[in-house]
Amino acid sequence: MIFRVAWRSIWRNRRRTLITAASIALGLIIAIFFIAMAEGVYEQIVNDGVRMQAGHITLENPDYQMAPAIDLRIGDVENIRKYIKKIEAVEEAKLLIWGQGVANSGAGAVGVSIMGVEPAVEIKNSPLARDIVAGSYLAEDDDRKVVLGEHLAKELKIGLGNKIVITTNNARGELVEELCRVKGIFRTGSDEIDGYFIQIPLNFARKVFGLQADEATQLGVILKRPQDQPMVMEEIKSALANKNIEVLPWQQILPEVASYIRIDRVSNWVFQGLLFVIILFTILNTLLMSVMEREREFAVLLALGTPVRKLKGQLFLESVFIGCLGCFAGLTLGGLAAFVLQIRGLDLAFLMPEGVTISGFAMSTTVHALVTPPVFLWTGGIVLGAMLLLSLLIMRRIKKIGLAETLR
């Protein structure tokens, strides 16, 4: 009974109800949309980063993280890889041999980071393989071939087919010099990547650095769903308990990316929060005014003998209804907008003419949102909760209605 009264009552002043509900909805739409967009951007950055480098989970020598050196490697990698690939949540397991060295050309010498990779795996996964602008990426049976960034090619004044001599120290500390030829040139848009990284086939890297056939510096695990990271890490850790191998999450391998995401997320939340406060004021205002306006109505009801409790209950329900209306509209429309952005993406090229890099990773100018169910729950929850709290506060005014005065 009380439900029906409450429901009808809110529609009696349609404008006020709609304005209040609309404010709530608007706040939610904005919150959901922007949060989804931000999450989409983060996911893309992480995705690109882990696929280009060492996966969502990285297996490496325990001492490697502290002081990366080519002699700190892991062995028996083929068996480990076979085991890992059997885990359902795993999409791919890639091997990396990573070392520092100098790339020499006739025109000069530049310090570089040398990545020994498996061409077949990289082509499927790495954004770097997709960003080839000249020549082609490495192929499975390539030997003395290298792909490098456009910036580096310019610095060394070389092009496709030209020679590079890689100078480095191998796993035994000996100086080695090996020739290779430029097969492809990539442009990721990040000066750091384009000017510093070179990729060579894994087997050639073994030769250069003096590693055995079953050794690598890192094994990267790429997951189908990033959320499975903790579970898969546990599984791998327990399987490798007796081996001298460290299992690390990408957050430790790419700490800058993790930091950037953390900071950005926090600032996003703070702003959403502030926006929410503004909306709350509006709602508070609306509620206050409605109570004031309807003093006469309440006085009549009270005079007719309605228990104060029931009146309060009715008002509370009214707030619940309005809140739910607003939430429903907001969550649905916001969710819809975010979903559309997720599918179609938005090209922000007009904002970022030369492309943007975040801590060395080039962001693509098209952003996709990422809609995550929990977002709906807690934004809707907070809004509804606040709404109800406010109405509780306001209801205290009801007691203060002096019947006689009001009915005058």
Partner 1 sequence: MGLLRVSWRNLWRNRRRTAITMAAVALNAIILITTYSLMDGMLRQTVLNATELVTGEAQIHSPGYLSDRSIYKTLENPQAILQTLREQSISAAPRAYGYGLVSRGTKSAGALFWGVDPESEKATFKLPAHLAEGSFLSPNPQKGIVLGKKLARSLNARLGAEIVLLVQAADGSLGNELFTVTGILKSVGEGIDRNAAIIHLEDYRHLFVLPAGVHEIAVNTGGRVSLDKLSAILPRLVPDSEVKTWRQLLPALSDMLQLSGASMSLFGAIFFAAAGLGVMNTMLMTTYERSHEFGLLKALGTSPWRIVRDVAFEAWLMAAVSTVFAVILGVAATLALQEYGLDTSALAGETTIAGVVFDPVWRAALSIEAVAAPVVIMWIVCVLAALYPAAMSARLDPVKSMHRV
Partner 2 sequence: MNDDIRKIFSGKRKVGSKHVHSFGRRAILIFLPLAIFLLLGAHPVRGETLTADDILNKVDDLYRGTSSYGMMTMEVVTAHWKRTLSLEFWSKGKDKSLIRILSPLKEKGTATLRAGNEIWNYLPKVNRVIKLPSSMMSASWMGSHFTNDDLVKESRFADDYNCRITFQGPRKGENVIELSCIPRPDAPVVWGKVEIVVRQSDYLPIVINYYDEGLRPARSMTFSKFAKMSGRTLPAVLTLVPVDKPREKTVVVYDKITFDLSLNNEVFSIRNLQK
Beta carbon of residue 371, minimum distance to partner 2 (angstroms, whole number): 48
| Residue whose CB is less far from partner 2, 180 or 240 | 180
Ordered DSSP codes for 49-87? HHHHTTBSEEEE-TTTTTS--TT--B--HHHHHHHHHTS
* CA distances for 254 relative to 35, 40, 52, 76, 277, angstroms: 23, 18, 11, 25, 35
Range 15-34, binding partner 1 (CB under 8 A): 15-16, 19, 23, 26-27, 30, 34
Q: Is residue 174 involved in binding partner 2 (CB under 8 A)?
A: yes
Beta carbon of residue 250, minimum distance to partner 1 (angstroms, whole number): 16
DSSP state of 216: B
What string marks each residue from 33 to 52 as x (binds partner 1 by CB under 8 A) or -?
-x------------------
Closest CA to 56 of 220, 256, 279: 220
Angle in degrees, CA 131, 356, 48, rounded to 5: 50
Beta carbon of residue 165, minimum distance to partner 2 (angstroms, whole number): 4
Closest CA to 114 of 38, 201, 186: 201
**What is the size of the binding site for partner 1 (CB under 8 A)?**
48
Q: Which two tokens stand for residue 6?
A: 């409450």
DSSP 3-state of 3: helix
Residue span binding partner 2 (CB under 8 A) among the ranges 2-10, 160-168, 215-223, 261-269: 160-168
Range 81-140, binding partner 2 (CB under 8 A): 101-102, 104-109, 111
Angle in degrees, CA 370, 376, 379, rounded to 5: 115
Beta carbon of residue 182, minimum distance to partner 2 (angstroms, whole number): 10
Q: Which two tokens stand for residue 38?
A: 């931000």
Which listed option, partner 1, partner 2, none, makes contact with residue 2 (CB within 5 to 8 Å by class)? none
| Residue whose CB is less far from partner 1, 248 or 394 | 394
Beta carbon of residue 285, minimum distance to partner 1 (angstroms, whole number): 5
Options 190, 199, 218, 391; binder of partner 1; rule CB under 8 A: 190
Which listed option, partner 2, partner 1, none, makes contact with residue 106 (CB within 5 to 8 Å by class)? partner 2
Left (φ > 0), alpha (ψ -120 to 50) or beta: where does 173 sit? Answer: left
* CA distances for 15 relative to 18, 183, 286, 384, angstroms: 5, 68, 11, 20
Pairing mode of beta strands 90-105, 163-169: antiparallel
Q: Is residue 391 involved in binding partner 1 (CB under 8 A)?
A: no
Can you tell me the distance from the alpha carbon of 41 to that of 382, in angstroms, rounded to the nearest whole number? 24
Residue span binding partner 1 (CB under 8 A) among the ranges 151-159, 282-290, 309-317, 399-407: 282-290
| Residue whose CB is less far from partner 2, 88 or 174 | 174
Q: Is residue 172 involved in binding partner 2 (CB under 8 A)?
A: no
Which listed option, partner 1, partner 2, none, makes contact with residue 351 (CB within 5 to 8 Å by class)? partner 1
Question: What are the beta bridge partners of residue 166?
Answer: 103, 178
Which listed option, partner 1, partner 2, none, makes contact with residue 231 (CB within 5 to 8 Å by class)? none
Beta carbon of residue 2, minimum distance to partner 1 (angstroms, whole number): 25
Beta carbon of residue 304, minimum distance to partner 1 (angstroms, whole number): 20
Residue span binding partner 2 (CB under 8 A) among the ranges 19-27, 81-89, 155-163, 372-380: 155-163
| Residue whose CB is less far from partner 1, 87 or 165 | 165
Closest CA to 93 of 79, 107, 103, 114: 79
**Tally of CB atoms within 10 A around 120:** 12
Beta carbon of residue 332, minimum distance to partner 1 (angstroms, whole number): 20
Can you tell me the distance from the alpha carbon of 210 to that of 169, in angstroms, rounded to the nearest whole number? 9
Q: Is residue 207 involved in binding partner 2 (CB under 8 A)?
A: no
Q: Is residue 175 involved in binding partner 2 (CB under 8 A)?
A: yes
Question: 138, 202 in Cβ contact below 8 A?
Answer: no
Can you tell me the distance from the alpha carbon of 261 to that of 45, in angstroms, rounded to the nearest whole number? 9
DSSP 3-state of 1: coil
- Give the binding site for partner 2 (CB under 8 A): 101-102, 104-109, 111, 144, 158, 162-169, 174-179
